[in-house]
Amino acid sequence: MSCPTYPVTVTREDNLWVSVVTDGLAEGTVGAADFEHFAEVDPGMREVIADLTSTEPDHFDISWRYEFSEQDHTALIREYQAAERVAAALAHWRDRARRRLVGELNGQLSQRALADLIGLSHQRIHQISHEPEFGEIDLIRPAPALVDALVDIAHHSPLAPAGADADSLRAKLHEVLEVVDG
């Protein structure tokens, strides 16, 4: 069963993020809200639409459009959002790999040598080796969020192969990651 998709246009007016559902609601129903911070737009509009449609926020999709100075900047915003997700996922992956490296080599190398290897201070190596979840790290793989963000970027890129869908790109990326892990 597919979820309904509600198109929402976001603009900036009077120092507020103005969000309006442009289609899909019952006739005469207006779905609009103003938000002080951009981070409030997605959860806020999900709540607005859920209230107006008597559905749960995870039972529908939103198709976002970002217009500023009467120009569509959706592609640029989506690219930035995807880049942020990739950066966060990469940082998480790096931190997990760093903790595993410290865990594996702590005691075999001095903390000063580990610090030199990783490019951190020996004090930071000491902190990492005493973090609560330190001993729980085993296999280091990219988080699913990284895979999803990379797929999103690839799928919406003008360089994406013609006819490539998100599922085939995701499968190919998992295949590449398996080769790297192998």
pLDDT of residue 141: 61
pLDDT at 182: 43
pLDDT at 93: 82
For 47-156, list the strands marked E by DSSP. 61-68, 71-72
Q: One-letter amino acid identity for 166?
A: A
4-8, 130-134, 156-160: segment of lowest average pLDDT: 156-160
| Average pLDDT of the segment spanning 35-49 | 97
**What tokens appear for 172 in the block?**
């190919």
Nearest to 166 by CA among 148, 182, 140: 148
Q: What is the mean pLDDT of residues 110-126?
A: 94
Which class for 6: exposed (0-12), middle (13-18), buried (19 or more C-beta within 10 A)?
Answer: buried
Q: What is the per-residue pLDDT for 103? A: 85
Q: 158 CB contacts (<8 Å, ≥6 apart)? A: none
**Domain limits, the chain:** 5-72, 76-181
In single-letter form, the type of residue at position 121 comes to S
**What local confidence, expressed as pLDDT, does residue 180 receive?**
46
Q: Report the alpha-carbon distance of residue 56 to residue 60 in Å, rounded.
A: 8
The 10s digit of each residue's pLDDT in 134-151 is: 555 555 566 666 677 677
Q: Note the maximum CA span of the chain.
A: 70
Over 60: is that where the pLDDT of 29 sits? Answer: yes
Q: Quick count: other Cβ atoms within 10 Å of Cβ 3?
A: 10
How does the average pLDDT of the chain come out, rounded?
A: 84
Q: Is 19 exposed, middle or buried (0-12, 13-18, 19+ CB in 10 A)?
A: buried
Q: What tokens does 15 get?
A: 């120092």
Predicted pLDDT of residue 160:
61
Q: What is the pLDDT of residues 122-134, one digit of tens each?
A: 999 999 888 876 5
